[in-house]
Amino acid sequence: MKRSHVRPSALAVVAALLLARPLASCTSILVSKGASKNAGCIITYSCDGEFHPRLRIIPAEDYPADAVVEIRGRQGLKGTIPQVAHTYKVLGLMNEFQLAIGETTFDGRLELVNPDGLLHYFQLMTLALQRAKTAREAIRVMADLVDRHGYFSSGESFSIADKEEAWIMEMIGTGKGGKGAVWVALRLPDGFISAHANMARIGEFPLDDPENCLYAPNVVSFAVERGFYDPKAGKPFSFTLAYCPPSEEQVKYSARRVWSIFRRAAPGLGLSPDFSSSVRGAKPYPLWIRPERPLGVRDVIALHRDHYEGTPFDMSRDLSAGPFAMPDRWRPIKWKVGGRAYSWERPISTQQVGFMFASESRTDLPDGVGGVFWYGMDNPYTNFFIPLYTSISDLPAAYASGSMEAFSRDSAWWTFNFVANFANLRYSDMIQDIQTVQREIEDLEFALQPAVEGAARQLLAGDPALAAAYLTRYCVSNGQMNQERWWKLAETLIAKYNDGYVRDENGRPREVGYPEEWLRQELKENPKKFRIRSERKGEGEL
C-alpha cells in the first residue's frame, strides 16, 4: 500500500498556528472575471500570524488503487483517507489548472467544533487543489471530504477561484459526535468583488439556484434542530446569524477591514463605517459590490496595503503611533486600563502577516502561462511581491527555507521582517525609502510581464517543457535578485538612520529631531519640564 501525506504547501506550519493563535486573523478579497482587468478571476489571501512560512511545490503524481493519504496533526498521525488515482500539481495555494483557494477563520459557535473530525481547513484546501480543476469542483470535493471523514476546524470562509468563476464558501462543524459540516457557497455575480476578514459574510441565500448557490442539505434543518433558527419567527434564514452571530468585538475587528476595502474600491458608494463601529441600527455591509473600475492584481495588492489612512481610524495619527507615525500596534490587541477593556484597531496590513498571495487565473492564456501566484512574505505594506507561474519546477531558495528559531539572511521572510522592524525606529521617513524600492521592483515586474508571457507562449507552442524551464529560470532569478536588492535597502537604512541622525545625500549626519506636531503634544503634556530659561529676558522662549 502506498502512503502519502498532505503537505500543505505554503501553510506548512498553520496547523500549529491555528491551535495556538488567540484570535483568528486573515483577510481575503475576491474579484470576479467581469470586475477584473485580466480576463479572469483574482483572489487574495493574507495569512496572518506569528510564524515563518515556507513555500512549496507539490508535484502531480499517480497512485495505485490502494494508496492512502496520511492526515497528521500536532500529535502525529490522526488517520488516513483513500488517495485518488492522480493528483494535480500545486504551487503554494494554486494548482496547474489555475484554481486558487484562500481562507479566513470566523470561529462562529465554538460548540460546533468537532474534536473527533479528521480534516482541518488547510488540509481541505490542499486536497481540493490536488483533486479539482474548477472552483465548482473544489466545493464538491471539500464537501464530500468532510462528509466522509469529519471536519475538525471552527468556522471558515473560503475564497475559491478558477479562470471563469469566483466563489465564497462558508463552513462550520456539527459539534462533538456530529457528522460532516454545514456549509453554503455563493458564486460572485460577474462584475462584482467581495471580501471577508474573520467574520461570516453570507446572510440570506437562495435555495433554488444551483447555478449560483450550493449548500449542505442540512444547512437550515441543523440550525433549527440546535435552536439557532426559528422558522416560525417569520424571518428568512441567514447563515451568519445562525452560525456566527456577530459580537461588537468581532465587528470592529473584522467588518472594519471589509469596509475599508469596499470604500477604496468604490468610493462613490459612500459606505459608512457605522456598522464596523457597532452603531445602533447600522446595516451590515453587502456581501459584494461593483467596483468603480476594473481591478488588476496590483490594485488588489494595494487594497491590502492599508492602515485606514485618511479615515477617523488612521493608525498613523494616534498618540500610540509615536513621533514618527508608526501604524503598527504591539499585541495583545485587547488590553485593560483601570478595569475597563479596550482594543487597538486591527488593520488590513499588519506586522503579523506571515505571507500573502494574489492569484491571477486567466482565460485568454494557456494554463502554463495564465496562472500566476503573486507572492509576498511578512507585512505587505513593507514588502514586495514576486510572480510565480504555476508551470515552474523550482522556487527561489530563500522562499522555501528558514525558521522562526534562527535569524538568517538566506530567508526571504527574515529579509522582509528585518526591514519592517528596523523601519519602526523612524517610520515616517524610512517608509518613503522602502516604498521607493518597492515601487522600483514591482514596476519592473509588471512592466516585464507581457514580454515574459509572450516569449513563454511562443515556447509553449513548440516545446512545453522548454516554456516551463524558461519561466522557472525567470521566476527563480527574479526572486533571488530582488531579495538581494532588499538586503541592500536594509544596509542603506542602517547607514542612513543611525543613532538618531539622518545622513543627507552627501553622507553627512544631520540632526533632524522630532516632528513639530509631536513636540507640541509633548509640551502640552509637560509644559515646564523641557523649557529653557535664559538669563536674558525673553531669550529661549518656546
Choosing from 466, 481, 498, the residue where a domain stops is 498
The domain in which residue 454 lies consists of: 409-498
In a domain, 386, yes or no: no
Nine-digit cell string for 185: 457557497
Instruction: State mean pLDDT over 413-431.
Output: 98
Choosing from 306, 332, 364, the residue where a domain stops is 306
Say how many Å lie between the first and final Cα of the chain, rounded. 82
Above 80 in pLDDT, residue 539?
A: no
The pairing of beta strand 86-87 with beta strand 61-62: antiparallel
In a domain, 311, yes or no: no
Helix residue spans in 2-59 (DSSP H) = 14-20
In a domain, 148, yes or no: yes
Instruction: State mean pLDDT over 392-403.
Output: 97
27 forms beta bridges with 46
Instruction: State mean pLDDT over 70-91.
Output: 94
389 forms beta bridges with 372
The Cα–Cα gap between 56 and 12 comes to 9
The one-letter code for the residue type at 135 is A
The string of pLDDT tens digits covering residues 474-527 is: 999 999 999 999 999 999 999 999 999 999 999 999 999 999 999 999 999 999
Above 90 in pLDDT, residue 422?
A: yes
Q: For position 7, what pLDDT does the model report?
A: 41
In a domain, 323, yes or no: no
The pairing of beta strand 372-377 with beta strand 353-362: antiparallel
Q: For position 533, what pLDDT does the model report?
A: 78
> pLDDT band at 73, cuts 50/70/90?
confident
In a domain, 277, yes or no: yes
The total of structural domains in the chain comes to 2
Share of the chain above pLDDT 90, in %: 90
Lowest mean pLDDT: which of 7-21, 65-79, 222-236?
7-21
Could you tell me if 351 and 328 are in contact, meaning their C-beta atoms sit under 8 angstroms apart?
yes
Instruction: State mean pLDDT over 242-260.
Output: 95
Instruction: State mean pLDDT over 410-420.
Output: 98
31 forms beta bridges with 42, 193
465 burial level (CB within 10 Å; 0-12, 13-18, 19+): exposed
Above 90 in pLDDT, residue 15?
A: no
The Cα–Cα gap between 17 and 365 comes to 36
Above 70 in pLDDT, residue 430?
A: yes
Kindly give, in sequence order, each residue whose CB lies less than 8 Å from that of residue 18, ignoring residues fewer than 6 positions away.
105, 120, 121, 122, 153
CA distances to 13, 42, 396 from 56, rounded to whole Å, are: 12, 21, 10
- Same domain for 413 and 302: no
The Cα–Cα gap between 221 and 234 comes to 16
To the nearest whole number, what is the mean pLDDT of the chain?
A: 93
Choosing from 278, 306, 334, the residue where a domain stops is 306
- Same domain for 60 and 178: yes
Q: For position 75, what pLDDT does the model report?
A: 82
- Same domain for 300 and 177: yes
> pLDDT band at 12, cuts 50/70/90?
very low
Instruction: State mean pLDDT over 329-333.
Output: 92
- Same domain for 415 and 290: no
Q: For position 25, what pLDDT does the model report?
A: 85
In a domain, 318, yes or no: no
45 forms beta bridges with 357
Lowest mean pLDDT: which of 65-74, 373-382, 480-489?
65-74
> pLDDT band at 21, cuts 50/70/90?
very low
Above 80 in pLDDT, residue 536?
A: no
Concatenating the DSSP letter of every residue in 401-444 gives: --BTTB--TT-HHHHHHHHHHHHTTSHHHHHHHHHHHHHHHHHH
Instruction: State mean pLDDT over 414-426.
Output: 98
The Cα–Cα gap between 417 and 411 comes to 10
> pLDDT band at 2, cuts 50/70/90?
low
The one-letter code for the residue type at 408 is S
Q: For position 74, what pLDDT does the model report?
A: 83
Instruction: State mean pLDDT over 354-361.
Output: 98
Share of the chain above pLDDT 70, in %: 94
- Same domain for 293 and 439: no
CA distances to 103, 510, 513 from 507, rounded to whole Å, are: 47, 9, 17
> pLDDT band at 24, cuts 50/70/90?
low
For residue 100, give the nearest of 113, 108, 91 by alpha carbon.
91
Instruction: State mean pLDDT over 195-208.
Output: 98
Q: For position 3, what pLDDT does the model report?
A: 58
In a domain, 383, yes or no: no
CA 103 centroid distance within chain: 8
In a domain, 313, yes or no: no
Q: For position 20, what pLDDT does the model report?
A: 36
Instruction: State mean pLDDT over 23-50.
Output: 93
The Cα–Cα gap between 20 and 156 comes to 17
The one-letter code for the residue type at 451 is A
- Same domain for 157 and 22: yes
Nine-digit cell string for 74: 500536532
Above 90 in pLDDT, residue 320?
A: yes
> pLDDT band at 4, cuts 50/70/90?
low
> pLDDT band at 17, cuts 50/70/90?
very low
